[in-house]
Amino acid sequence: MPTVIDLNDYGNPTSQLFGERLRERRRARGLTQSQICEQTGLTKAYVSLVERGRANPTLDTMIKLAEAVGAEAWDMIRPAPDQTSHTLHNM
């Protein structure tokens, strides 16, 4: 009997966080994925993958996407204040 693998268990936490924040900021600004694509030159399929945490965008792509929603790339991947001390202690 084949084993089912849930791809959500294998995502990159930073890519997932970036994607969640991208979607939130895009929606807050009233932008569609198509508008983001026009600004960045990326395909709608790729933007969708990024927003769902299924793609691991390059730094250049992250910067383009962040600028398209009026943000800095660092702000899109920065840990939340309550996660920062936990993250630093685990290094």
pLDDT in tens, 1-20: 556 545 555 568 899 999 99
pLDDT in tens, 56-79: 999 999 999 999 999 999 999 998
Structural domain total, the chain: 1
Q: Is 47 within a domain?
A: yes
Domain with 64, as residue range(s), is 12-77
pLDDT at position 35 over 80: yes
Question: Which pLDDT score is estimated for 65?
Answer: 98
Question: Which pLDDT score is estimated for 67?
Answer: 97
Question: Which pLDDT score is estimated for 55?
Answer: 93
Single out the residue of 44, 46, 50 nearest to residue 32, CA to CA. Answer: 44
Helix (H) or strand (E) holding 66: helix 59-68
CATH of the domain at 52: 1.10.260.40
The arithmetic mean of pLDDT across residues 22-31, rounded, is 97
Q: Distances in Å between the alpha carbon of 84 and those of 17, 21, 54, 72, 79?
A: 14, 17, 24, 18, 6
